[in-house]
Amino acid sequence: MKKSHTLCAMRYMLSFFVLAASLSGCGSQYSAERLYWQANQAAKDIAKGQPLDKLNDQDYEKIIFGYRRLTERFPLESISAQSQFIVTQVYVLRKQYREAEEEMVKVIQNFSNNTELASQAQFMIGSIYERQGKQKKAVQEYDKISDLYPLSRIGLKMPVYIAEYYQRDKNELEAAKAYEKAIKYYKGLVKEYSGTSFAAVLKDYLALAYVSQGSWDKAVDIWQRIVDENPQDQVGEGLLFTLGETYLRQIKDLQKAIDTYEDFVSKNPNSKIIKHAKFQIGRLYLIKGDFSGAIKIFNEIIKNYPKETKLCTDAKLAIAACYEKQGDWEGVMRVYAEIKAAYPDTSAALSIPLFIAQHYQKENRPAEAESAFKEAILGYEKIIKRDPHGSLAPQAWDLISLGYLSQQKWDKAVDSLQVLTEAYPEDIRAPKAMFTMAIIYRRQLRDTRKAKETFERFIQQYPGHELAGLAKSEIESLQGSPASS
């Protein structure tokens, strides 16, 4: 039974860490924020880079004490609830499930008027029972979320989450019942909120329930109606691209994907996402093999949106891809030269030396490929040396790692990825770099100990990332594997 990436990720997006992370930035008194910062720093010092489940009881008590100072002094501040989620996680790691549940009950009591916080705490209670293997009790607690907080983010996700929970537990009979219940539930909400702007959101949840079952045809029918009814709305605009990708990747109907975008463009010429819809049409023409049609669309985008640098460089690279598909390397190099001249400090321009090396590699020209990789990496190292704290430095390290990965130089790839994660932990590329390190340790270097440690560090450092669920699955599959010496 197929599931969309979004729904597969949902299970992990509901984990504790996201619940805690989603509270970041809430307003609170300076003193409460100060105590929270101190508790975080103390916890980091205690952990010393280790995953939380590797600490001893004394360390756990110290961490709890740090956060408890905040919860006792400012029990009604939202940042205090964040501390309570952390304390709850510590209790769960120690298998002190009763204390963990009691902590979440306090959050529900203190923040009964905050449906997001209260629903998150209620979800944690359900997950505590799920962790203990008490399926019936877990589902009872999860059901309370839809009853008490039906329009909260978690409340809207819970009907499908419960169905997927049964599915993960290989209980197909209960899963089928839960899906039927979820679909009926969403249809009821759609009817209740018919005529409001919220109806489109609820219809999307109904579509996602069908996706979770693998009923893609039913899902696209709903999404198409949402797009038709809400072409200028944020929900409708976003679902246009979901619809196009579903036709392309799941239903495998390339022409239908093209028709979907072209129909939207013709009906909504003033839409603010029209440029992105046109780009998708060009991309699909490229996939189809209509290179002249694709190049025409991409050139029109460059002409009509000259101030949209990212869009224009993407269009230029797509044109280069059209030439490469036709075996016209001179055309590719001509476009690359245009990018470097017109957009010299962009991500696209920076990537070109690596693209050239990879082309030689694909063409089975090893000597030229090796020379091009060496030249590319030296160029990236110069950029880093010139301005190690500049905006281009993280991308340069990322491209260096890709160069080594392309050459299967695994140790050097790991070294460059490690620099990226340690020197630029907040950079958008850092999470994927750490995840890639873990994969290399497991798949290529066969070092299961380092792989497991890196996956655990990934979850600890980037708990809300879309790859966190995959990292957790990798750890589970590594359990019991012998560590490398």
In the 3-class helix/strand/coil scheme, how is 268-310 assigned residue by residue?
CCCCCCHHHHHHHHHHHHHHHCCHHHHHHHHHHHHHHCCCCHH
Query: Which pLDDT does position 473 carry in this prediction?
Result: 86
pTM over 0.85: no
Ramachandran angles phi, psi of 6, nearest 5°: -60, -45
Structural fold of domain 276-344: 1.25.40
For residue 131, pLDDT over 70 is answered with yes
- CATH label, 9-187, candidates 3.40.630.10, 1.10.10.10, 1.25.40.10, 1.10.3720.10: 1.25.40.10
pLDDT at 468: 85
Reading the block at residue 288, the tokens are 């189809």
Per-residue model confidence as pLDDT tens digits over 219-239: 999 999 999 999 989 999 999
Residue 364, SS3 per DSSP: coil
Question: Which residues contact residue 413 at a Cβ distance below 8 angstroms, ignoring those fewer than 6 apart?
Answer: 401, 404, 405, 436, 440
Q: Where are the domains of the chain?
A: 9-187, 276-344
Query: In this structure, are residues 183 and 206 in contact, taking their beta carbons and an 8 Å threshold?
Result: yes
User: What digits encode the pLDDT tens for the residues 431-478?
Assistant: 999 999 999 999 999 999 999 999 988 987 887 788 988 998 898 888
29 or 192, greater pLDDT: 192
Which of 360, 405, 352 minimizes the C-alpha distance to 380?
Answer: 352
- Does this chain's domain 9-187 share its CATH topology with 276-344? yes
- Please tell me the number of Cα atoms within 13 Å of 115 on its side-chain side: 13
Residue 30's pLDDT is 81
The model's pLDDT over 361-411, given as tens digits with 9 standing for 90+, comes to: 999 999 999 999 999 999 999 999 999 999 999 999 999 999 999 999 999
